[in-house]
Amino acid sequence: MSRNARINVLLLIAVAALAVLPLVLGLGDHKEEPFAGADAEAETAITEIEPDYEPWFSPLYEPPSGEVESALFALQAALGAGVLAYYFGLRRGRRQGEERALAASGATAAPADTPGGD
């Protein structure tokens, strides 16, 4: 593995560790519902501050279950990851193509460059 790739892998491991450590250390154990969404907690805080507050608008479409919701979140991540992968794949292919074309033109141009004919 090149030095570059090694650094990227180390960075990825650090990201994974940051996500896993709170789970391993049981940092959610003191909560009734560990690792709930921060937005749900904010909703609770709002009703604590203003017990009478009623949301005055509800979502036009709500995923019917947690499963459907997670599917849609996965779809969102997959769409993004797909476009990113397409970008980097295309770049890599183009670069390789350019290098090959350069090598090929270099090979044919080399004899013409040598002085001698005129």
Partner 1 sequence: MHIAEGFLPPAHAIAWGVASAPFVVHGVRSLTREVREHPESTLLLGASGAFTFVLSALKLPSVTGSCSHPTGTGLGAILFRPPIMAVLGTITLLFQALLLAHGGLTTLGANVFSMAIAGPWAGYGVYRLLRGWDVPLMVTVFFGAFVADLSTYCVTSVQLALAFPDPGSGFLGALGKFGSIFAVTQVPLAVSEGLLTVIVMRLLVQSSKGELTRLGVLLTRSGERKQEAVAR
CB of 38 to partner 1, least distance (A): 4
Out of 1, 3, 6, 46, the residue judged to bind partner 1 by CB under 8 A: 46
Angle at 72 between CA 78 and CA 89, to 5 degrees: 10
**Do residues 80 and 74 lie in contact, with contact meaning Cβ atoms separated by under 8 Å?**
no
Answer for which of 1, 3, 56, 113 binds partner 1 (CB under 8 A) is 56
69 binding partner 1? (CB under 8 A): yes
Out of 1, 3, 37, 117, which residue is the one contacting partner 1 (CB under 8 A)? 37
Structure tokens at 62: 């709500």
Based on the shown chain and the rule CB under 8 A, indicate whether residue 100 belongs to the binding site for partner 1. no
The tokens for 114 are: 């040598």
Is residue 35 within 8 Å of residue 28, measured between CB atoms?
Answer: yes
CA–CA gap between residue 30 and residue 27 (Å, rounded): 7
Which of these, 66, 12, 76, lies nearest to 36 by C-alpha position?
Answer: 66
- Residue 95 interacts with partner 1 (CB under 8 A)? yes
Q: What is the binding site for partner 1 (CB under 8 A)?
A: 4, 7-8, 11-12, 14-15, 18-19, 21-23, 27-31, 34-39, 41-43, 45-46, 49-50, 53, 55-63, 69, 72-74, 76-77, 79-84, 87-88, 90-92, 95
